[in-house]
Amino acid sequence: MATGLGTLSQSQAPRVAVIGSGAIGLLVFAKLAQLQQSEARPIFSKLALVCRSEQVAQQIQNKGGIDLINFETGDALGKQSASRACFCALDAPQLQVMSCRDDTAAGIDLALVCVKSYQIESIGSFLRRAFMGSTSPSAAVTFCNGIGHVPRLAALLPRQVAVLPAVTYMAAERLGTNKVQVHGHGATYILGKGNPSQPIMVRDTLKETLAAVAPIPFTSTSASCKRAENRIQDEHVTREQVRTEQFQHLPTESWFSALYRSNGTEERAPAGETRRPSSEKAPATAIGDQRYSPWGQILDLTLEQQRLLDERQGLCAWMNRAGIGPASIGQDERPFVEKLALNCGINPVATLLGVRNGALMRLPEALRLAEMAALEVAELFGMSGPPLLGKLRNVLGATAGNVNSMLADLLRGQPTEVDALNGAVADLMASRGDHRPSVNALLALIIRALTERRQQKLELGDIGGEYPVR
């Protein structure tokens, strides 16, 4: 396999690089590689997997491809009743594997950034070199969890590169250097605005972006939860009664709830149709200036950039044809708020307990803690509560056997993305003058403490012998 992306004329097929060899990076690259090999006419003039480590890149090259294990059913304990495996061989001349240290990279049109939020700066030099070799408008799509990474990446790249956030509901777990266990496929959303007549708008700094989010005049989630507990203890009402009453302070028809039916399940379009929400933007009371969000400005894309990303001939079309869709691009910020809330609820609680996602459904107090964290995010953005809780439970069921990325990082002794998730939410609340106790702030502190303990390899030692299990 070759090691350089090379330079190509604008008349040729696009040059695409998947940055990062984690679970999502390997899955996306393998699926796009399979699509490339299945087509009579190549879709990409170059498709590269760019690893942060030279050792990992060499190991994947030596193994000759990527193993994908697709589990069709599973439970909270990770037991699988049916599985289907396939091997994506990297034997086509357009497919490449390289590391970020490769000095021959130049001239890419599209980068799919699949690294951790805290790793953004480590790939900046590579992407800057790669995009410098392109004379046409280019784009970088980030699949990082949390908020704050888009402005940071944009500050590292040439001005002609549009940096757009994306969220995905694909659930995958890396089992080895070149092996990925797929627990479920789901929708992918890219935030962008197609407007060929206008140039790309310049992004603000992270501080300015976060400052643009206006306060929400709703009662705090933590306060409402405290009132709920008092009612349970003093009035002997059931927890379900209180849970229903808990959301009365939230808007009944928020900009987010239009996506759902009253039973909390996502409304699906008829087969063969794409149903878009009637309102694609949050109201001014929730987002302030409607062109801003913690994910950065919604960019006005050039025609060339739009073609790289759209659902007819660009990234969204490739993902849909490769079987990792549905994927779409638009101005709807709701999926981003929703995914942030779900990540802030599920990931730290499952990590704290050291369990797979589905186990939270069998642990009522753990589930309640995850719901409280998610509701805090919902309140921050003016999102309706009950639909989000329905979505949270659906995601737990769909990804029951999955070890979430935060837990996987902790078990490997690596940093987690808690600062881009719960920590960022707590900081955003504080920046708006809300200094009340926060569930997300507490979860962030606990995960940081667990990370410190893991990195320092502190164990129970002799304490365990003093308290035998009876």
* Cα distance between residue 337 and residue 385, in whole Å: 12
Residue at token pair 């379900």: 240
With respect to residue 274, please indicate whether it lies within any of the assigned structural domains.
no
Q: Please report the beta strands in 169-232, taking only residues with DSSP state E, as ranges in sequence order.
A: 171-176, 179-184, 188-191, 193-194
Range of the domain at 300: 15-210+292-330
**109 and 254, same structural domain?**
no
**341 and 326, same structural domain?**
no
CATH code (residue 380) = 1.10.1040.10
* Cα distance between residue 426 and residue 437, in whole Å: 9
**436 and 339, same structural domain?**
yes
pLDDT, residue 150, reads 92
Q: Read off the DSSP letter of residue 216.
A: -
Residue 281 burial (10 A CB sphere; 0-12, 13-18, 19+): middle
Kindly report whether the peptide bond that precedes residue 42 is cis, defined as omega within 30 degrees of 0.
no
With respect to residue 284, please indicate whether it lies within any of the assigned structural domains.
no
With respect to residue 204, please indicate whether it lies within any of the assigned structural domains.
yes
pLDDT, residue 432, reads 81
**442 and 301, same structural domain?**
no
pLDDT, residue 118, reads 93
Domain final residue pick, 330, 348, 376: 330
* Cα distance between residue 318 and residue 324, in whole Å: 9
Q: Are 280 and 332 in contact (CB under 8 A)?
A: yes
Residues 226-244: b if buried by 16+ CB within 10 A, e if exposed = eebeebeeeeeeeeeebbe
| Amino acid at position 256, single letter | F
CATH code (residue 137) = 3.40.50.720
**154 and 31, same structural domain?**
yes
**144 and 30, same structural domain?**
yes
pLDDT, residue 425, reads 94
With respect to residue 468, please indicate whether it lies within any of the assigned structural domains.
no
For the chain, what's the residue count?
470
Residue at token pair 């994908």: 68
**239 and 200, same structural domain?**
no
* Cα distance between residue 118 and residue 248, in whole Å: 37
With respect to residue 305, please indicate whether it lies within any of the assigned structural domains.
yes
Per-residue pLDDT of the chain (470 residues; tens, 9 = 90+): 444 443 333 457 899 999 999 999 999 999 999 999 988 888 999 999 999 999 999 999 999 999 998 865 544 444 554 466 788 888 878 899 999 988 666 689 999 999 999 999 999 999 999 998 677 779 999 999 999 899 999 999 988 899 999 999 988 889 889 999 888 778 999 998 754 433 333 323 333 333 333 222 222 333 333 443 454 444 444 433 433 333 333 333 232 222 222 223 333 333 333 222 222 233 333 233 322 468 877 777 888 888 899 888 899 999 999 988 899 988 888 899 999 999 999 999 999 999 999 999 999 999 999 999 999 999 988 888 888 999 999 999 988 888 999 999 999 888 999 999 999 999 999 988 888 889 999 999 999 999 998 888 776 555 555 555 55
**165 and 60, same structural domain?**
yes
**How many distinct structural domains can be found in the chain?**
2
**80 and 66, same structural domain?**
yes
**162 and 87, same structural domain?**
yes
**246 and 182, same structural domain?**
no
